[in-house]
Amino acid sequence: MTHMNKTSAIAEFFSEKSVFITGATGFIGKQLVEKLISSCPNIKNIYILVRPKRGHTVVERVKQLLSCPLFDPVRKTDPVFENKIKPIQGDILDPNFGINFDDEHLLIENCHIVFHSAATIKFNEALRLAIQMNVTPIRKLILLCHKMKKLQALIHVSTAYANCNRTNIGEMIYTPIIEPHKLIDASEWMDDSVFDVLTDKIIKDRPNTYTYTKSLAEYLLSEEGNNLPIAIIRPSIVGASWKEPFPG
């Protein structure tokens, strides 16, 4: 993706807007944060969901994120860009993403665009955990987005391989054999050992639990969030950057 002109339609759309991103510390999430900062100079705030991890606080993790060489080019043109990055402490596995009352109120009153990128990307993750990380959070996200007073777009990051068991794949949502809510309910009480035994029977012709649960997430989003301004993107295999912010 080439650098967008600062007067582009995209930059204008994001001007004075506030964005909420899940998965901002992941590979794609980092790129998204950098691209929004570098190409949309008038963006107002970027709220990022971050959880404490391995003894590091949310503030420490955000500082570590922004010290990445990825942000060096934008730091030269906008030395104070970090002021636009607002950490929201939480975890997609927790009820309501673990977001406290004040932070939730902040999002409800100010957020215009939501990017949901958080997920487990381990192809052969245990099915129970894959459901809890890739499917269950969709319900929490929908509930949160319904409360947002200024919401203009909810963008869900899926995968080009969500329906890889099909010969021909269209730009549509496919109905799964098992309703997602049944698997969500089962994941809350069924032991890992039972899920492990049933995994092959549940995912059937899918190559792994990752593609299976990403497909379930798409369906759940379309069914329960059908009155929200939703876009689902299906990126293919992620590789190194070509030019921006630097080759590699």
- For 63-84, write each residue's pLDDT tens digit: 999 999 999 999 999 999 999 9
Query: Which one-letter amino acid corresponds to residue 181?
Result: H
Is the Cα torsion angle 160, 162, 166, 172 positive or negative in sign?
A: negative
pLDDT of residue 138: 98
pLDDT for res 161: 95
Print pLDDT tens along the chain (248 aa): 445 555 689 999 999 999 999 999 998 999 999 999 999 999 999 999 999 988 899 999 999 999 999 999 999 999 999 999 999 999 999 999 999 999 999 999 999 999 999 999 899 999 999 999 999 999 999 999 999 999 999 999 999 999 999 999 999 999 999 999 999 999 999 988 999 999 999 999 999 999 999 999 999 999 999 899 999 999 998 877 777 777 76
Residue 116 and residue 141 in contact, taking contact as beta carbons nearer than 8 Å: yes
pTM of the model: 0.93
Identify whether the C-beta of residue 200 lies closer than 8 Å to the C-beta of residue 206. Answer: no
- Residue 206's pLDDT is what? 94
What is the pLDDT at residue 7?
66
Per the CB < 8 A criterion, the answer to whether 211 and 135 are in contact is no
5 vs 1, 39, 40, 72, 97, CA distance in Å? 12, 7, 9, 19, 35
Rounded Cα distance between 66 and 78, Å, is 13
Query: Hey, where are the domains in the chain?
Result: 9-233
The whole-number pLDDT of residue 88 equals 98
Question: Which pLDDT belongs to residue 4?
Answer: 53
Q: Is 109 helix (H, G, I), strand (E, B) or coil?
A: helix
What is the per-residue pLDDT for 150? 98
What's the pLDDT at 5? 55
Q: What is the topology classification, in CATH, of domain 9-233?
A: Rossmann fold (3.40.50)
